[in-house]
Amino acid sequence: MMQQSSDQGEIIIESLGSAGVIRLNRAKAINSLNEAMVRDIKAGLGAFARNPEITSVILCGEGERGLCAGGDVRQIYAARTASEADRTRFWREEFPLNYAISHYPKPFIAFMDGIVMGGGVGVSAHGRYRIVTERTRLAMPETAIGYFPDVGATWLLPKAPGEAGTWLGLTGREVGAADAIYLGLGDYHIPSARLLELMDALGRVSFSADIGAVIESFATPPEGTGQLAGNRDMIDAAFAGESVEAIIMALSALDNDFARETLATLQSRSPTSLKLTLRLLRMGGQSSGLVECLEREFVAGCEVLRNHDFYEGVRAALIDKDRDPKWRPDTLQAVSSEALDRYFVSSLTPLFPDHRL
């Protein structure tokens, strides 16, 4: 959104009048999150919550490419031979931050400009005001790297209209502003050229109760209707299946470009990730709240790191960049329900031990 000197650290915490501002300042990595950044965001949120002069908190990303491309999976990949405690420490920091944002006592405003993916959705879509722009490219692309949508996505996506959240979670495809709002992951569309003006206006607000009206005064309808609303009947019919095989069969019977593109995407994803994601999404739709989903995601994520596909997916996408992952197993039929059960059993210390589900 704007340029800042990189010598200020990977997180910049500052005040602009009555607005607290948290800037992700790792532009070369599209502001991908690491442990230190997550801790600094928590500290900034805590300080702003205690400051009576602050009426709202704004999260934004430095550079021109996006708010946040997600968690730094390269670091997780590099720690593949470390202890389980070391491999999973990032999630022990990140998931409680997602929960804290969802329950933040002051208006939390996310500028979801440009790329917003994976962990970037986690630090924005749980906020009170989610602002998208004509440049927004939102995705939960985890099935492409042998993982699954986490950061509370299994709580958020089942709340989307019909099966749109299932489509997003399984395919990992990018969507723009109109679709982000349709999915319930964004609230207002505001042109990117006006974000600095909005930030300045928010810094002049004396009462938190007035924040919504200020944001609404800048909002405009997004261009177009997106791809999801127009394909809702097809998405709802195909993705209502209780198995990935049923979804694949339903898509195979359809003769249109959207169905063919969706089918081709699913056929390139990790079979284990697809089946794990679908089970998590279905369970998320029946869950008591965000904490239950985060705990379940943490257990499943720890098991993912004990297996092949995540490391192979990251290798193919980010390390060797050959875009040719060799999944194991490489067919849906070879991924049994019993094989998935181990992703839901753990003796790990809960992330929220004092929270009653």
Catalytic: 150?
yes
- The residues, ordered by sequence, that sit 6+ positions from 118 with a Cβ below 8 Å of its Cβ are 69, 70, 71, 139, 140, 141, 142, 149, 150, 151
The continuous run of DSSP H or E covering 37 comes out as: helix 35-50
Question: What gap in Å lies between CA 180 and CA 184, rounded to an integer?
Answer: 6
Give CA 145 to chain center in angstroms.
Answer: 14
Q: Answer for the pair 244, 129: CB distance below 8 angstroms, yes or no.
A: no
List helix spans (H) across 123-204.
153-156, 164-171, 177-182, 195-202
Question: What gap in Å lies between CA 356 and CA 170, rounded to an integer?
Answer: 30
Catalytic: 142?
yes
Q: Which of 40, 113, 150, 312 is an active site residue?
A: 150
Q: Which of 66, 71, 146, 165 is an active site residue?
A: 71
Q: Which of 97, 80, 83 is nearest to 38 (CA)?
A: 97
Strands 11-16 vs 19-24: parallel, antiparallel or unpaired: antiparallel
Catalytic: 236?
no
Q: Which of 118, 119, 122, 186 is an active site residue?
A: 119
Q: Answer for the pair 118, 157: CB distance below 8 angstroms, yes or no.
A: no
Catalytic: 70?
no
Q: Where are the beta strands (DSSP E) in 104-231?
A: 108-112, 115-117, 129-132, 137-139, 188-189
Q: Which of 40, 72, 142, 179 is an active site residue?
A: 142
Catalytic residue positions? 71, 119, 142, 150
